[in-house]
Structures are given as C-alpha cells and as structure tokens.
Amino acid sequence: MKELKTLKEYLYPEGKKFTIPNYQRGYKWAIKESEQEPSAVEKLVSNLISAFEKSEQNYFLQGVTVNDESNNITLIDGQQRTTTLYLLLWSIDKEYIKDININYEIREDSSEFLNDLKKIDSIPKNENLDNQDIHYFKEAIKQIKQMLGNKINNKKDFYEFICNKTNILYIDIPKSKATKIFTMMNGNKAEMLPEELIKAEMLRVISDSPDFVDISEEQDINKLHHHYANEWKLNALRSRYAREWDKWLYWWNKKDVQNFFDISSPMGLLLEYYYKRNTKKNDFNFNNFRILIDENSEKTKLHFKKLRDLQKSFEDIFDIPNIFNCLGLVLKGDGKKLKEDRKFEVINYFIDKYKEQSENLEKYAKWSLIEANHSDIISPESDKLTTIAYTALDYLSGNCYFVPEAKELAFKQLLRLNVKEDDNLKRKFDFNVCEIGNRSLEHIHAKSKEDMLELSQDDEWTIHSIGNLLLLYYDDNRDFGTKPFKDKRKLYFDLKGKLKSRNLLHTISVFANETWEKKDIEQNKTKFITRFKEDYNLEGR
C-alpha cells in the first residue's frame, strides 16, 4: 500500500512507535566525506530551510518503506531520514519529540539516548565512546544547530512548515517480505558493505536456535510461554553481540587508528585478517566468509569469540607503546604504503608474537629498516643479515645526503633513534613525521654556498655525513634554512615558536650541543656508527 502523508501524519502516528530492525546498519548521516562536502544531515536540513524560505506550498521528501502492524512501524528503508528528522525537531524544541518513539531492536543504548533527549535541552555531556550511533547522533545535532542558528529566526513557523507542508511517500509492505525487500533496495541504491552483510548474517545464524518454537505451532499455554521466553533470550543474545560489534566498529573508525593501520573500511582489518588467518586464502568477501561460519549457530558463536580475541590483539598492539613503536617503524618507516601481502605478513607476525618478549619485535623492526625481508628476519640463520648490515654500514659511512640509498637509510636510522627515546619513556611515537611531505633531513652545520667555498675537498664529505644530519619535520627545516648552528639552536629551543620537531627526543639531544664544528660532526658520526655496529651485531668487525 502506498499513500502520501504529511510529516505530521508520518512522525506522529497515534499510539505507535518506530522500530529499527536488527539488520539495519548504524546511523551514519552525520559523516562528512570531506570538509568541502556536506553531510546527508546538512543536505536534508539545507533543502528544508531553502523550501521554507521560498514559502513553497509543498515540499516532498524521498519515500520510506515500512511494515505497519498493530502499534509498531518497522522501518525497512528510511531509518536514517526518520532519525534525522527526530533530531531536527528536538533541535527546534524538545517538546516536538515527546510523542515520537524510536526503538532499536538490538541497540538499547541508542534507543535510550534518543528517548532521553525528551528530558533535556542540550547535548548530553557524558560521552559513550563505545556506541557509534550516539557519536553520530551528537555530530548530527551539532550540524543541525549550526544551520538553524545561522538561518532560522522563527523556529515555530519552520516547525509548522516541516509538519504540514512537507510530504513523504509512505509504502507499507507485509512483514514476510521485509528482509528481502531491504536487501533488494540496498542493492539498487547503495550496496551494503561486506562487513555489514557479515554482521547481519552472523546475528541471523546465532539466533537460529534449535529450541525456537514457531508461534504457528503453539498448542497450549505452556508452549506459548516457552516461545516468548525463548524469543526474549534470542533478542537479548542478538543485542549483546550487536553491541560488542559496534564497539569494534567505533574503535576502527577512530582517525588515529585508521591513519596508523592505513585503512578506510569501517571495520578496518578485523574481518579480512580473521578470514586470511583462518583459511590461508586471500579471497575475502561476504560469500566466502559465510562459507566459513557454515550456517551453524555454535560455530558462529565460536567464530565471534575468536573475532573478539583478534580485536583485542589489534587494540593491544596499538595501545602498548613499545609494540606500537616497533610496528610503526615497519609500517611507517619509509612513508610509503606497504603492499597488502607484506602488510598482512607484518601485522600477522606482530599479533602472533606481541605477548612474548618484545625483543623479537624490536629485532623485526630493526632489521626491516635496513631492507631485510621477513623470512631472513625470522630465520635463526644470521649470515645473510650480517651481509645486509655491512651493506647498510658502507652507505651510512659515506655521503648520506646525495646518494639516494644512503639518504633513505639515514632517515630510517635517525627515525629509529628518536623512536627508541620514546620507548625509554614508555611513550607512543608520533609517526606523522614519516609522511611524505612531513619528513626531512636537516644539515646541522649550514650548507650555504659561502660555507661550502670555505671547505676543503676533504671536508666537504663531512657536511653530508650522518654526523651532520638529523630528523626534522619539513616545515621546520624550511624555517632553519641556512642559518648558523647557534641561530638554529636558539630557534629550536624558543618555546614561543611553533616547531613540531621538539617532540623528537634524539634531535633534541643533538641540538643540546653548545657548538657545532668539524670535530663535533666527526664525534657525532663516530657515536652513530658505534651504536649502529652494536645494534646490528657488528662489534669488533
């Protein structure tokens, strides 16, 4: 059945509540793809404001598809739009939502947040960092309030326009067709992501209990009681799993997590890496993951537990400073994206080894920085590693600025020394300095043309040696230019300045020198080479 309704007729159905079923994805309309692009919330509110200002007789919204039975309206398509309208009405005046009820089948915290808005006039200050819906509810409210504050003076008239002059096509379908139509509609307009399909499938299979009794087969009151008790248990079970899933989803959507692991998919690496670790195959997709869980409720619960364990491992390698720093050296060391197979190889190794002594991971990071491959690093045979270390030592002993291989090695080794200092403080290193456009090597002693003319040919190589180079952010390097060392030193330690490179502790130790002449460069180079030999087991060679 189809009919055209005003938003007043749609949003205020007497004695009914809106239900968002368990297969629906979380609220995401507040997400902005970029600073320049408006969110879906901003687009909707902007269109309504524009229509209101033009005094349009009627404004039409995209339709909603529902299953309207008894006192419940199940939102099959339109939950994002309906929730946004709810938040818009609250932003105008909380009194306008007191007769609207939105219930999430399995996300109780989301329902509670929306219901609590009826009692308050401002965004709740308590942060629920585990619930993605709530995070984006708050973002949506901020966006709406900013738009209303800038453009709407008479909010009551705007409310009347929304309710009485804004129309929506209302499509009511049978409950038996709801899931099928939801899948078809999402396939036509916005294909569901693999992680969304996997979540829905796992919740469905977990809920497929052999004890469940179809209500059509009830014969007596005892069976009826059993049916409803069992249904309540299954809903509680789905809710618990869904809340946990949403916690993982929220974690992977943090910007620092996405930047560190270099990912953009909502569930990050969790599902793909789980599949690869369990099947030793690279063909991750929804259909193959569904084969893995095998339509078996108990197997699916076990897979969910293993996913929980893998998620905990990802959080640990990100949260434990020395593990984070070792992994960061491998993932971020050269400022480039690792190939996917290499990335999986590295992260998989760290997940398997991080609970053991961290020396294994420090060794892995150290050797990766001089181009040793995975099989050589984990092999007990060290002859090949020694050869690799000697090759690196030869490069680092000469001109480290104008020889590309030597310059890259110098950057990575100076990065390693700075990271090591943060390790000593049990502090996570800021790997932004590794990004292309941020990274730079600075000559400590000035290298202007005038300075170079004063050097003999024997001295010229000293200027470009590892003893005269340190790690900086590129913007700071530009500020230093060709200033003398004493001026660079003064600028570096000027606390009123905005140098980002002051968080680089090894760099600080070099700038702590009172002077920087040829002898200082040579001493610094000797110190560096000695440490390199110690770290790479080349002492006495």
- 304 pLDDT band (50/70/90 cuts)? very high
Per-residue pLDDT, averaged over 377-405, amounts to 88
Please tell me the least confidently modeled range out of 21-30, 130-139, 455-464. 455-464
In three-state secondary structure terms, 442 is strand
**pLDDT tens for each residue of 350-360:** 999 998 877 88
Distance CA 422, CA 400 (A): 25
User: What is residue 296's predicted lDDT score, i.e. its pLDDT?
Assistant: 84
State the average pLDDT for the chain: 84
Nearest Cα neighbor of 163 from 52, 247, 274 is 52
Among all chains, which residue has been given the structure tokens 């997940």? 351
User: What is residue 452's predicted lDDT score, i.e. its pLDDT?
Assistant: 47
Nearest Cα neighbor of 367 from 344, 350, 383, 389 is 389
Q: What is the 3-state secondary structure (H, E, C) of 168-205?
A: EEEEECCHHHHHHHHHHHHHHHCCCCHHHHHHHHHHHH
**pLDDT tens for each residue of 459-490:** 556 788 999 999 999 888 777 877 888 888 88
User: What is residue 540's predicted lDDT score, i.e. its pLDDT?
Assistant: 59
User: What is residue 215's predicted lDDT score, i.e. its pLDDT?
Assistant: 40
Beta carbons of 140 and 30 less than 8 angstroms apart: yes
User: What is residue 224's predicted lDDT score, i.e. its pLDDT?
Assistant: 44
Q: Which of 31-35, 341-345, 500-504 has the highest mean pLDDT?
A: 341-345
User: What is residue 447's predicted lDDT score, i.e. its pLDDT?
Assistant: 59
In three-state secondary structure terms, 156 is helix
What is the distance, to the nearest Å, from the Cα of residue 395 to the centroid of all Cα atoms in its chain? 38
Nearest Cα neighbor of 136 from 84, 199, 94, 198 is 84
Per-residue pLDDT, averaged over 70-96, amounts to 92
- 97 pLDDT band (50/70/90 cuts)? very high
User: What is residue 55's predicted lDDT score, i.e. its pLDDT?
Assistant: 81
What torsion do the CA atoms of 15, 20, 22, 25 make, to the nearest 10 degrees? Answer: 180
Sequence-ordered strand ranges (E) for 7-91: 17-20, 59-69, 72-77
User: What is residue 364's predicted lDDT score, i.e. its pLDDT?
Assistant: 94
**pLDDT of 349 strictly over 90:** yes
Per-residue pLDDT, averaged over 480-509, amounts to 86
User: pTM to 2 decimals?
Assistant: 0.68
User: What is residue 367's predicted lDDT score, i.e. its pLDDT?
Assistant: 95
**pLDDT tens for each residue of 224-243:** 444 445 556 666 777 788 88
CB count within 10 Å of CB 324 equals 23
Per-residue pLDDT, averaged over 504-510, amounts to 91
Per-residue pLDDT, averaged over 114-132, amounts to 76
**pLDDT tens for each residue of 426-449:** 999 999 999 888 888 888 886 554
More confident residue, 300 or 56: 300
Q: Please count the residues of the chain.
A: 541
